[in-house]
């Protein structure tokens, strides 16, 4: 077995690092787990820009923050390497390819969505989306619901959003309060679980090694925190002012800012909130279009929360923010994406050192444990909603079971879930197989 290198690698230039982050943006399939695995293999094992311990340390911070943890991890590591400019480049490069691709797909979808070929593909994909969301609920629940109290919080969250239509932010707030109380009354029940413990693997000394002190720009100071928050508030306010002349774009800016602060537990956790606002309240797109966008988001690179690009494009066109539909769609997509990801930069540049100083303290992690439990119930509600749309396509709120039942869609959803759960099938393979089946059914006239 070859011995690991004994010397530290040379620091990468800003240009060299930028090329890597752009490359990652093009190949970042597989959701956060796949994206984090790619970064570990490249940055820890091959390039040795950061040690495994520091990599996992940074990842644990990002797991505690709202927002997509994979892109935040990229922002964090690039920030350590090249400061603020590194953070900005890594974050933008991570989502830029997905933004361009999803905007193009949204435009083609609106132009040719009635073509039988496209209808057939999405007929097969929709039951796969039901299985994917249900699998996400199971996967998160199996890790997060470790005792009866956390199961109870998940059940209350499901009841609140399904039966009483309570808005997602109130559910998050209530779960956080229950977690904080539980952390004091039953601390053993609310200890945050960690799935990212240290590894014994050795890859040789890293540029940012276990004993490397943080650079000056990464050290916590209250003055820097206040300044950074003030700068981000100013950027946000200027951006809101820039779109204030068009009510739909201003609504998107405010709405997706709120959504960004609610993504504790990953993209699936905030999708019910995005649905409530984008479909039910603002009418930017239909429930079926939301499902189609989620399916495309699963098969394109970048974080799953990039589905907001799709939502923004659809909303811009639906509300006619510009006379030209392409310009309207791109404007909506750009606004939705910008306001969704702006807080992630804030959390790392301003809050990262503060989160580091409080890591492991129960008073900080217990509320997050409660919120994560509630997220399971919320995702289960999303699965029920998508199943209703896929299995009763003619149904309405007034007649929830109108029309014939799509038994074939039920079977496809069940088989897709089994493939994901029992056989560990890749999500993209499941979606591809279901799309092919949808084409076959459509053209065979079944």
Q: Rounded distance, CA 263 to CA 202, Å?
A: 34
Domain chopping of the chain, boundaries: 14-194+204-444
- DSSP per-residue letters across 68-96: -HHHHHHHHHHHHHHHHHHHHHHHHHHHH
Please tell me the distance from the alpha carbon of residue 143 to that of residue 158, in angstroms, as a whole number. Answer: 18
- CA–CA separation, 332 and 256 (whole Å): 11
Q: What is the DSSP string of 243-262?
A: HTTSHHHHHHHHHHHHHHTT
Residue 281: count of CB within 10 angstroms of its CB: 12
Write out pLDDT tens, residues 139-171.
778 878 989 999 999 999 999 989 998 877 788
Q: pLDDT per residue over 204-251, tens digit each?
A: 888 988 777 777 787 788 998 999 999 999 999 999 999 999 999 999
Whole-number pLDDT of residue 356: 56
Which parts of the chain sit beneath pLDDT 70? Answer: 1-4, 29-31, 33-34, 60, 64, 114-115, 192-201, 264-267, 355-361, 445-446
């Amino acid at each position: 077995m070859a011995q690991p290198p004994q010397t530290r690698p040379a620091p990468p230039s800003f240009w060299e690092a930028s090329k890597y982050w752009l490359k990652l943006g093009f190949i970042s399939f597989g959701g956060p787990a796949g994206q984090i695995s790619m970064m570990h293999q490249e940055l820890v094992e091959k390039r040795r820009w950061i040690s495994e311990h520091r990599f996992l340390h940074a990842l644990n911070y990002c797991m505690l923050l709202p927002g997509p943890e994979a892109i935040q991890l990229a922002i964090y590591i690039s920030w350590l390497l090249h400061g603020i400019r590194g953070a900005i480049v890594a974050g933008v490069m991570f989502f830029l390819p997905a933004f361009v691709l999803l905007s193009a797909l949204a435009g083609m979808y609106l132009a040719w969505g009635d073509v039988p070929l496209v209808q057939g593909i999405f007929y097969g994909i929709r039951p796969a989306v039901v299985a994917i969301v249900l699998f996400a609920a199971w996967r998160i629940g199996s890790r997060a619901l470790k005792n009866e109290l956390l199961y109870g919080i998940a059940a209350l969250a499901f009841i609140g959003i399904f039966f009483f239509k309570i808005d997602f932010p109130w559910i998050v707030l209530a779960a956080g309060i229950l977690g904080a109380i539980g952390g004091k009354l039953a601390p053993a029940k609310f200890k945050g679980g960690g799935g990212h413990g240290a590894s014994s693997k050795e890859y040789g000394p890293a540029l940012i090694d276990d004993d490397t002190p943080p650079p000056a720009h990464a050290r916590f100071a209250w003055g820097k925190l206040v300044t950074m928050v003030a700068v981000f508030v100013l950027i946000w306010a200027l951006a809101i002012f820039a779109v204030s002349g068009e009510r739909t774009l201003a609504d998107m800016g405010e709405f997706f800012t709120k959504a960004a602060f609610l993504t504790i537990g990953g993209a699936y956790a905030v999708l019910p909130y995005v649905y409530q606002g984008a479909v039910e309240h603002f009418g930017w797109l239909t429930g079926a279009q939301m499902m189609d966008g989620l399916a495309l988001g699963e098969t394109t690179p970048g974080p799953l929360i990039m589905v907001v690009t799709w939502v923004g494009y659809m909303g811009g066109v639906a509300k006619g923010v510009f006379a030209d539909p392409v310009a309207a769609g791109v404007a909506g997509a750009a606004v939705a994406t910008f306001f969704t990801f702006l807080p992630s930069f804030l959390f790392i540049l301003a809050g990262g050192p503060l989160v580091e100083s409080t890591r492991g303290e129960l008073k900080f992690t217990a509320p997050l444990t409660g919120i994560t439990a509630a997220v399971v119930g919320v995702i289960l509600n999303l699965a029920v909603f998508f199943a209703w749309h896929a299995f009763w396509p003619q149904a309405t709120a007034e007649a929830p079971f109108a029309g014939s039942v799509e038994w074939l869609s039920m079977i496809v959803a069940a088989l897709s879930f089994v493939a994901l759960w029992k056989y560990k099938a890749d999500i993209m393979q499941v979606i591809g197989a279901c799309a092919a089946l949808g084409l076959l059914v459509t053209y065979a006239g079944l």
